[in-house]
Amino acid sequence: MHLSILFPAIVNGVLTGALYALIALGLTLVYGVLHIINFAHGTLLTSALFAAFFMHKMLGVDPYIAVLILAPAFFGFGYGLQRLVIGPASHGNDGNILLVTLGLAVIIENAMLFAFRADTRTIDVPYGFAVVPFAGMFVSVPRLVGFGGAVAVALLTGRAGIAQFTDACVRDPEVLALRRKVELLRDPAFATIAAAVDIATADGKVHRMSQTAARGSDVNPMSDRDLEQKLREAAAGWDSRHDTAPLIEAIWTLDRSTDVSGLALLAVPGMS
């Protein structure tokens, strides 16, 4: 395959993968808050997408505007499923929760298949297939908008963790204002794990920061302390009261452990 085709395919693949990672993040948040491995997560997401499709087709509502309506609507729907179906049917047992959510997924999927058939449906908006040409390739505008928001959040907060990708942070007026000033450029001279940021200030000065290798990559690994802190922050997103010290200790002493089941229990909040 020619490089002129391979490189754009890799870039667009990374952007598509970021979308799947965002969906997966929702699944982990549900598990962290409710301790539910929700097999119906993808099915409910598909239901929301169908709702956005019909809101646009029948009412002419832009998909991004529909989010303001569908997010609270599906929050209420999910809350009802938890209180009226999942909770009473599972009796708090993890095995039962798996079976109940799997059953919900089968029911909802087949209901949608019966109602909407298996035909492919597309929301036709002017910007849906808009692309930006640069460095000999074309990148989707909606995906670039998402990356621009990530850069704006990182500049304002100095961090790029889970908390920086919540709805509240992304919709912060300061983040929205700064995101409009962010311009993404691809420099073929940079490696895929390298990046540079030029910040032009009102006094005419340009401040430049660069990173030859992303933090956490093979050539720029995180320190043990950084890894521990990242684990603490991730656990705090699930349950701020969860003590990660026993889990960290168990990980560092894993080579001397004779039973790894204890480590698995420590990794689940409320099970240790």
pLDDT digits (tens, 9 = 90+) for 62-89: 888 888 899 899 889 988 888 888 888 8
Nearest to 270, CA basis, from 242, 245, 248 = 242
Q: Which residues of the chain have pLDDT under 50?
A: none
The whole-angstrom separation of Cα 53 and Cα 38 is: 24
The DSSP H or E segment spanning 211 is strand 206-211
> Rounded to 5, what percent of the chain is helix, strand, coil?
60, 10, 30
- What's the pLDDT at 107? 92
- What's the pLDDT at 6? 75
Our measurement of the distance from residue 131's CA atom to the centroid of its chain's CA atoms, rounded to an integer in Å, reads 22
pLDDT digits (tens, 9 = 90+) for 249-269: 888 888 888 777 777 777 766
pTM of the model: 0.48
- What's the pLDDT at 253? 86
- What's the pLDDT at 47? 92
- What's the pLDDT at 51? 92
Tell me the C-alpha to C-alpha distance, in Å, between residue 130 and each of 14, 67, 103, 140, 142.
18, 20, 39, 6, 8
- What's the pLDDT at 194? 79
Q: What are the extents of the domains in the chain?
A: 35-116, 131-211, 224-266
